[in-house]
Structure 1
Amino acid sequence: MDIANFLIQLLNSVQYGLLLFMLAAGLTLIFGIMGVVNLAHGSFYMLGAYLAWSLASKTGSLALAIVLGTALSVVFGLAQERILFRHFYRRDHLDQVLLTFGLIYIFEDLRSIFWGDEVHGVTVPALLGDSIRLTDTLSYPVYRLFMSGICVALAIGLYLLISKTRLGMKIRAGAFNHEMTEALGINIKFIHAIVFALGVGLAAVAGMIAAPVSSVYPNMGAQVLIMCFVVVVIGGIGSVRGALIAALLVGLVDTFGKVLLPQVASMLVYVLMAVVLLWKPQGLFKQ
């Protein structure tokens, strides 16, 4: 592998890892703070992709579709938390698993009713349609760099929100001890609603920016859900920092595994998870 091919695969692995982080960050926040095992999290990724395709088709602008889709996703997250998930915080994890597993089928049927079962493509904006030439025969798409930039910006924003704001302080307090936080006069139900909507929004944005690269197709959320859980387990349940590092590790192992060891590439990520859990059973970073 020459330096140009190595650079392309490295950029691909970072881009994939950052996209996984956006999904896993919402998942680990929801589980770490609210204690909810959300198997339907991949459906929010699918929702974002379909919103990107639908809104971009109607408005003619992917940027406008992302803005509108993000707002709609957050509202959808707030509604889901208020109508369903709020009643399951104190319930057994089995009840949560059954609820969210059922939601996967409900969301798939709703997707089929509203958008059909065809595979759709989302056009890359003309401004981001060029490629950066690395050699005479190799180039790298500008849009993939744009995807990485969006993910980095959101990761920084999430870090600042959780670490540097009063709302973030309340979120961290709620994750540490629900009862004590509520006893101090903090509205823990409001915190839960914000966290859930944030998680849904991050997953939907990931789906929207990935749509031009991966296409939009039925059941696309199921494929990323397993990888998200792998990232959360490796990083440590409830740790956003762990999710970032784990997502980048998974991106590197998965991308270079498919290039260097294609015969066993499908199992390398799970081997990585097993090694990490043997070393640190609670993940790289305990909450």
Structure 2
Amino acid sequence: MKWRWLLWLLVGGPIAVFSIWALVDNARLYVITLLNGLTLASLYFIVASGFTLVFGLMRNVNLAHGSLYLLGGYVAYVVADRTGWWILALAAGFAVAALGGLLIQLLVLRHMQGQELRQTLVTIALSIVIADLLLWTFTGQVHQMEAPAWLQGPIRDLPLIRAYSAYRLSLLGFGVVIGLGLWWLLTRTRVGMMIRAGVDDRGMLSASGVNVNMVFAITFMLGAGLAGLGGVIGAVELSMVPGEDTRLLLASLIVVIVGGMGSVPGAAIGSAILGLAETYGLAYAPTYSVVFTFVILILVLAFRPRGIMGKAVA
């Protein structure tokens, strides 16, 4: 128990000292960076929550998750450009990524259950193929969607920071709604009960008359659809460009490792830690910002190998 208090002191002490110094030095920069970190964390959570369902809960290694993010963003860009309907683009990005995830599950991963190495190699290959097809179709040009009209422009007259992007602030709402929806699905519904039961004992669930393959396919679709949904949101906030798939896949892996496999609250905590570390690092120590991510990984793997909210195997 003593080492836990020592760990909290070693981690929390420098953070508290930095926060006090930053607030005194430039409170506006500190608060804006805090909001930027939380909104970035919301995007990471939306994408990583889908990865948590597929990798953390179902134990399926899908390293094509980042490519599904990119696919959803590009599809949404095309739909929004031709129709002008942002909501339709949002639905299209989710649906196409979900369909792509379903095909990956039915045609590939379904036949490799429990074979993590094969899943890893095959999904890496799929990721490369999908990314190259998207590069061939959309070239290397940067694509960026416009935010919906009701979220364009800044929110003004805010205390201290004066103005902040309405769209970026809305990401917090997106993250909260999706997080609560996933928590309700997994803990309060029959489908969630079947998903958790299938992960724990696939054979027993199948013997009880449940179509396990269908349950897992639906779960995989939802996880892939969330990646596509994140791609739509990222197409407005971060733009779509080759390489974003790798970045978001790496972020999802870090979130799952830090937060704990299969835990939606853990994904939220991991996303917040990663988002804040990235934005504060870029704002106050841009040369060494990437170091903070690896320091977090080292601390978590050293003291909480299963993640902050991870459960020990009985």
Matched letter for residue 110 of structure 1:
L
Match of 1:279 among 303, 310, 314: 303
Q: Deviations over 1:40-79 (max 9, x none)?
A: 1111111111112111111112222112222232222222
Distance 1:226 1:113 in 2: 23
Percent identity over the alignment is 37
Find the counterpart in structure 1 of residue 8 from structure 2. Answer: none
CA contact (8 A) 2:77 2:145 kept: yes
Q: 1:10 and 2:34 equivalent?
A: yes
Match of 1:94 among 117, 129, 150: 117
Find the counterpart in structure 2 of residue 112 from structure 1. Answer: 135
* Pairing 1:196-275 to 2, within 5 Å after superposition: 196-275=220-299
CA drift of 1:136 comes to 8.9
| RMSD (Å) for aligned C-alpha atoms | 1.7
Pick closer, same or farther for the CA change 1:136–1:196 going to 2, 3 Å. Answer: closer
Distance 2:217 2:263 in 1: 19
Give the SS at the match of 2:36: helix
When normalised by structure 1's length, the TM-score is: 0.94
Distance 1:94 1:73 in 2: 24
Pick closer, same or farther for the CA change 1:55–1:30 going to 2, 3 Å. Answer: same
Matched letter for residue 150 of structure 2:
L
Runs of 4+ in 1 over 3 A off after TM superposition: 134-138
CA contact (8 A) 2:256 2:267 kept: yes
Q: Deviations over 1:129-151 (max 9, x none)?
A: 12123379852100111222112
CA drift of 1:221 comes to 0.3
Match of 1:156 among 167, 180, 203: 180
- Where relative contact order (Cα < 8 A, 6+ residues apart) is larger, the structure is 1
Distance 1:33 1:259 in 2: 35
Which consecutive unaligned segments of at least 5 residues does structure 1 have? Answer: none
Match of 2:64 among 12, 20, 40: 40
Matched letter for residue 47 of structure 1:
L
Give the SS at the match of 1:139: strand
Q: Deviations over 1:231-258 (max 9, x none)?
A: 1111112222211111111111111122
Higher mean alpha-carbon deviation, 3-12 vs 191-200, is at: 3-12
Give the SS at the match of 2:287: coil
CA drift of 1:216 comes to 1.3
